[in-house]
Structure 1
């Protein structure tokens, strides 16, 4: 089952539980659902974060409440946080930092974030992992894997075991904060040449596998930026920055930030866009990236392009006749590339998500017979989330040129493994 299909099932379940299928929705009940997902943390909370981005599937009141899961989940006690810090770093936070705020700045699915100041005066944030969260994630995915195996035995078309394993592997890596520190360092370097983009830098001497220290970025989340009712110029600026922050590292360095909910983007007072939280960063094969680069360039230049050859080059498995595959892929491409085929696209009027859903319902069996490689799951998460954020921003402008400039600046890609 696709990530969008799983989200759709969960949306329908939540609507039933909360009464959102009726004309009146009990906001206290919705709040209870959010609180429950937040207290469960781990995979359950990640589901809630994904649901908050499903703008078409949720009623406004449910969407607003679930959106709190992006950074405002119920925190754990400050005494427990201090104990984790001392256990990991060898001393209590008041001895490790010139200042430490026991009240969290944010509480998310795997850990919560506290403000601090180093002895040299630098402002930092400390991300502290919840106790037992790695084991909880493993248990969650073991249960999901049982369902995936059962579906695979029922029908090859429904066999999602490879995709569940991909999600399990990538999300489990989010519990390794030393790996996240390395990913943060890489993105800090990748964005260093972009004056209006930034990523925090890790502080290695105050980081372990369960505690991550990063330089602090001040600003407002993308959601709060939207709530401030920005003008058209500001919406366009942030939209353009968002595309470069998400797609730029993919084409330049074969890696992408794959956790695109609005809480992971900060708009700073001086107009920059900061990319936060590097727990979920996916690295790709060079030939996979090159296949997508060829496709994008062909679309931008208006050149003839065989979508079937393209998906095969990217590692897709095609189990239907070529005529059916080409017709489905052609329809899919027409919906997905609308911003690339005009010099003025209005994301406030974008209907690509419902149109893609309608196509999926109309040609479900054909979709199931064109199977992407497992690594495409995380790319879909990143690109789909970016598109949802662009729709929320609702900017109007020449997005085609943004992508064209992005591809002009990046040549043939080597994978991270080849660069090392």
Structure 2
């Protein structure tokens, strides 16, 4: 699609989204199902940054209207692939004659996403590999697409989110999208994660193949596995093992290594025949600063204590509060809904009562957005934590989160005590 047509279509989708948001703001009903279907059709074809933004939004399951969230979630598993004729030139530019490098390449991708798609192949030496291929011309349209995304984010002003905060959120998102186009950085992240978790027997990270990698093609050893989303409703013992691995791995990432794989949709995780968690797609890895972790622990501590005033202070420390009139009653209800997941002993993340209560709070969160400002600088971290919460929900996880979080809170007390002594 030519750039002018692409821009026109993105603007049309943005205006339709803005109209639905304005109707809601004015107290009218919006047809979220129809909007979601239109966004799926349009963004699935256009791909790129706007589709990525929709995928990001879809992972806030508890904040979006249910019908809109269900339609946007299809972008993570049903997005239309680019035809082979559009992908092949990128591979030829990287390798020359494909028959000189590969014995076979599957022309139909087994995974497609917003910025690229993945094809299985076999080298002439017989090694099974996967090739993550960036969509052609994506770097050229990225900046123009971001202009349209920025306009869409500006709709947040209708919810009294200041322009400066929206600009900061946009800059964080833009940097992440630009970074995802750097396949050499992703290859380095794969190698780093393989070294980091080599001693763990429950985590698998695919091996990057530097000799086959290039600016727009990332080659990895093929790791056969079952996608995480396909485990839903399957063997309970396996699901609990995987859920424990996922929770422990995320905790280790954050609090031991200070960075996190920030693209938590279920298609990026799988389980191999040995029951190990397979981690794919390290295109979005973000550093997490100690101050951010400390503020998150403060918020967790206040939530578990069901202390609305302390929750407000923690949100202010994260940069997520401004103005007068803290919504203390909303804090109290949110804490009452979330705190049971962190009670001593195993707690059931599949308990629909918990996330039903959280979802029921969503309209009130939107209504209080002028006071509950989205914290700048932790958009991707918030998305990651929220996305993995829903991964655990879909796995029907039963986890003792109390035993995982109490040592972190104790360590924070000790650090604070040391600082004041």
TM-score by length of 1: 0.77
Counterpart of 1:15 in structure 2 is 33
Secondary structure at the aligned position of 1:266 is classed as strand
In the alignment, does 2:359 pair up with 1:361?
A: no
In the alignment, which of 316, 319, 323 is matched to residue 319 of structure 2? 316
Mean alpha-carbon deviation: is it higher for 134-143 or for 250-259? 134-143
In the alignment, does 2:293 pair up with 1:285?
A: no
| Cα distance in 1 for residues equivalent to 2:358 and 2:184 | 38
Q: What is the CA-CA distance between 1:150 and the residue it aligns to?
A: 7.0
Counterpart of 1:217 in structure 2 is 223
TM-score by length of 2: 0.77
In the alignment, which of 241, 244, 269 is matched to residue 245 of structure 2? 241
Written as runs of structure 1 = structure 2, the 5 A alignment for 1:42-191 is 42-46=48-52, 49-50=55-56, 54=61, 57-58=65-66, 63=70, 68-87=74-93, 89-149=94-154, 152=157, 155=160, 157=162, 160-191=166-197
Counterpart of 2:209 in structure 1 is 203
1:173-220, CA deviations, whole angstroms, 9 ceiling, x for partnerless residues?
A: 211111222222222223223211121122222112211111221111
Q: What is the CA-CA distance between 1:400 and the residue it aligns to?
A: 2.7
**In the alignment, is the contact (CA less than 8 A) between 1:328 and 1:366 conserved in 2?**
no
| Cα distance in 2 for residues equivalent to 1:120 and 1:97 | 8
CA separation of 1:293 and 1:85: change in aligned 2, threshold 3 A: same
Written as runs of structure 1 = structure 2, the 5 A alignment for 1:249-398 is 249-293=253-297, 296=300, 306-313=310-317, 315-321=318-324, 324=326, 328-362=330-364, 364=366, 366-398=368-400
Counterpart of 2:418 in structure 1 is none
Tell me how many residue pairs correspond in the alignment. 389
| Cα distance in 2 for residues equivalent to 1:172 and 1:234 | 37
Unmatched tracts of structure 1, length 5 or more: 19-29, 414-420
Two-structure CA RMSD over aligned residues (Å): 3.9
Mean alpha-carbon deviation: is it higher for 328-337 or for 195-204? 328-337
| Cα distance in 1 for residues equivalent to 2:108 and 2:155 | 44
| Cα distance in 1 for residues equivalent to 2:248 and 2:215 | 30
Unmatched tracts of structure 2, length 5 or more: 1-16, 416-421
Secondary structure at the aligned position of 2:176 is classed as helix
**In the alignment, is the contact (CA less than 8 A) between 1:138 and 1:172 conserved in 2?**
no
Q: What is the CA-CA distance between 1:258 and the residue it aligns to?
A: 1.7
| Cα distance in 2 for residues equivalent to 1:206 and 1:12 | 49
| Cα distance in 2 for residues equivalent to 1:117 and 1:410 | 50
